[in-house]
Structure 1
């Protein structure tokens, strides 16, 4: 396990894991960590100080070299939906994530990219606005339905793949949640679960860009976010059908009750 600060790990985790201190974007660190490894779970941390290409493919390049050098057999990575859609090449951060998948696959490892839509957990960034104003924002149309997923469900799929490594070759594993939801659907469910009115406000992309640049984020990274939001409104997450194999169990109602409600009402 690679971590920057081992002291932040819960004690039971430290007792069960071999910890390598540092960044998994550092060549020396990943070479040390991957030595003797049979499988790797790969998750790129968000870095708003870099352009999307550098934040994903550039960050992963040392790991790709280490995977090949140490003969790691299997890799499970966190990625995104959209590869089969017409907007995949102009989807900002998602395009960069898909390019990262190609880099890992080209090493010769057996690779599974977990193809995820937006997360329920993104709404935790809106907890203060929901509490104080009864409002949450995004940049997509209010009635556009799309898959959303709980991160715990993604973790469960990843764990299953890492424990049973009978799979070979390269491919994607969509994790789509139990049903598609629109921002208006989310507002209705949050109103029911929180016991207070919640409404959705659509934020223009130009306003989103100006706000994020004002926070000091790298302008190319901000453009990557804006392009991703635009692509999602153009159907980026709509290219994969939900089946028993691609659905995941946690409902938005359940997630609101267990996670969002305590955050909003605390």
Structure 2
């Protein structure tokens, strides 16, 4: 079966984490789903959690067809207590559902910017009575997924601007530095530590290449880097700073090195001076 499109790697990671979280929170027997094609015309099931077979793997679900297709049309969750006898949906995908012996089934669209981005199915191999309060129990998971996808979209948009920057006269060096700063600000909004680290690394990678005018743009320093500079300005050694902040000496050294690079200075004395000039410490 031909794939609809190659979904972004980050979408795949968000989906995998979402399936784990939904299964733990809802105690459903099987949770599965995949990305929605642009225009919400179809989706492809690319991830399975709790499956007994591969019957649903890479199944393409079209808008308006089956439970998932109905959820795409409505833009909201759709549930059936007994899938086999359910009315109001087409049963074109029964061949994928029956091998899993699923009875109660919910199709949940994850919506970003008013458009479904992922479609997640929650299935039980027995008839389960579910109500509005059941949906409320996992609404924080939905909000977190939507936020992570929205943040990733913004990161990709800004990376695209950065990649075009060399031939883009409308972007000044200060503009590029602001973009790098916002990448780090976006990182602060992410709970997942691996994603946070990736965003911070990208922001750090681009920030030093911009070298803006210090009089108009402040350096892109993280709160911990400012904390380290503040302690260093008191005359403390790296080990003493580490003890004061509850960090390892090598971590303090790394923060200090990053701060010096972002401030475009070569030693800690110059870093303290530059940070004080810009009101950072």
Compute the TM-score of the two structures, normalised by the length of structure 2: 0.24
Higher relative contact order (CA 8 A, sep 6+): 1
Q: Radius of gyration: which is bigger?
A: 2
Compute the TM-score of the two structures, normalised by the length of structure 1: 0.25
